Amino acid sequence: MIKHNSLAEKYRIKKYFDIIKQDPAVDEVKKFIKEFPKKKALILYGPAGTGKTSLALAAAKENDLEVLELNSSDLRNRAQLEIVLKPATEQMSLFKKGKILLVDEVDGVTGTDIGGIAELMRLVETTKFPMIMTCNDVWQSKLSQLRQKCKIVEMKALQTITIVEILRRVADNEGIKKDISFLNKIAIKSQGDIRAALNDLQSYAGGDISEVDTLERRDVEDNIFNILKKIFKERQPFLDIFDSTKMSLDEILLWLEENIPKEYKNEALAKAYYALGKADVFRGRIYKNQSWRFLIYQNIFQSAGISFAKTNSMPQSFTKYEPPKRILKIWLNNQKMEKKKTISKKYAKYVHCSTKRAMRDFQMIKMIIQKPAVQEQLRLTEDEIAFIKK
């Protein structure tokens, strides 16, 4: 017997297919295989860990079909696919068993897999066996043509109660003694992802409940306020502090920019902005040259760089950090300045200069275009005229 390393793999087909079989998707897949070749291919889509692959595998098992599994990296190119699939699609298996083609994660077929999608399309047309594909998002545009040729079946995220039930059965089977509240915690944390839940069950099988708590805390997205607090108050090389948030480095940079003066004064202030300025220089280079390697420098300057701007760590007192106001102000201002821009544009075209220059000299231009005759020549609207009279 094969020894499975992970519970998720071990119970992939055996147990939890029993439980999710109420899912309407199961019937759809069964029907598809039965009616083949009415429809030649089926796409199962849904969030990670909802059992897409498992369902395909289980369906094969139930119908005593051999599974020929491909992942997106096998689709790398046409030639390679040809070798793998030609024999498979054109002759029956040696043991006279029927086959099912499983192509996992077709959304992983990207622009770099030249011809990958095209090849899939061709496969769908020529296959002599039922073909099942899985993906997270079937509605993306690159899959639009493929979509038309296939039956589409959705798999929803598993309900927490279903996951608890699966965990309970697996725990029983494995002799893991855990009470139901422990299993509940794992289930809630998994957010419908059974694979994650089983992995957690396995990794905490030997531990106790308190460990699940730490695990949860670690996983909770560290919010920006905590990050700012750590950077500003403590004095540590926080190199991976931003890993815990989904916020982009550029957005964090704005938060830091806004809040530095709330914490730092004088020398620390100057040093912190020096570091922020450096982070920004690298940010600029990343954009200009697409050199993503520089992210590491931006990261270090805006974490450790700012943390070490002060000579001593600071008391953990409460500071009210504020979201970046600059972008909002600029936006509001742009709204207000819209008239100025349209006027400048008309003026610029008329006198053969750039709109930018007209905006810059607007105070002077405003005086020049007060005459009605000029306004007529520039074809200013009434709103615009009202604006320059203010």
User: What are the tokens at 314?
Assistant: 């600071």
353 contributes a contact to other proteins by CB under 8 A: yes
Q: Which helix (H) or strand (E) holds 95?
A: none
Q: Contact 38/151 with Cβ under 8 angstroms?
A: no
Q: Which stretch binds other proteins (CB under 8 A): 71-79, 88-96, 190-198, 267-275?
A: 267-275
Distance between CA atoms of residues 250 and 320, nearest Å: 21
257 contributes a contact to other proteins by CB under 8 A: yes
User: Which of 20, 164, 186, 369 touches other proteins by CB under 8 A?
Assistant: 369
Q: How far is the CB of 167 from other proteins (least distance, A)?
A: 49
352 contributes a contact to other proteins by CB under 8 A: yes
224 contributes a contact to other proteins by CB under 8 A: no
Burial of residue 336, with CB atoms counted within 10 A of its CB: 0-12 exposed, 13-18 middle, 19 or more buried: exposed
Q: Which stretch binds other proteins (CB under 8 A): 101-109, 182-190, 230-238, 372-380?
A: 372-380
CB nearer to other proteins: pick between 161 and 332: 332
288 contributes a contact to other proteins by CB under 8 A: yes
Nearest CA among 318, 358, 314, 319 for reference residue 339: 358
287 contributes a contact to other proteins by CB under 8 A: yes
- Binding residues for other proteins, how many (CB under 8 A)? 52
Q: Contact 135/43 with Cβ under 8 angstroms?
A: yes
126 contributes a contact to other proteins by CB under 8 A: no
CB nearer to other proteins: pick between 270 and 386: 270
Alpha helices in 108-151 (DSSP H): 116-126, 144-149
Distance between CA atoms of residues 234 and 309, nearest Å: 11
Distance between CA atoms of residues 89 and 110, nearest Å: 24
Q: How far is the CB of 359 from other proteins (least distance, A)?
A: 4
290 contributes a contact to other proteins by CB under 8 A: no
The string of DSSP letters for 67-85 reads: EEEE-GGGGS-HHHHHHHH
348 contributes a contact to other proteins by CB under 8 A: yes
User: Which of 41, 186, 231, 272 touches other proteins by CB under 8 A?
Assistant: 272
User: Which of 24, 161, 333, 338 touches other proteins by CB under 8 A?
Assistant: 333
CB nearer to other proteins: pick between 83 and 328: 328
User: Which of 283, 310, 339, 346 touches other proteins by CB under 8 A?
Assistant: 283
300 contributes a contact to other proteins by CB under 8 A: no
Alpha helices in 91-193 (DSSP H): 116-126, 144-149, 160-174, 180-190
> Token match 């965990």: residue?
167
Q: Which stretch binds other proteins (CB under 8 A): 76-84, 220-228, 239-247, 366-374?
A: 366-374
Q: Which stretch binds other proteins (CB under 8 A): 107-115, 268-276, 291-299, 310-318?
A: 268-276
Long-range CB pairs of 223-229 (<8 Å, 24+ gap) are 224/252, 224/255, 224/321, 225/321, 227/252, 228/255, 228/256, 228/259, 228/321, 229/316, 229/319, 229/321
Residues in the site for other proteins, rule: CB under 8 A?
253, 257, 261, 265-267, 269-274, 276-277, 280-281, 283-285, 287-288, 326, 329-330, 333, 337, 340, 347-348, 350-357, 359-365, 367-371, 373-374, 377
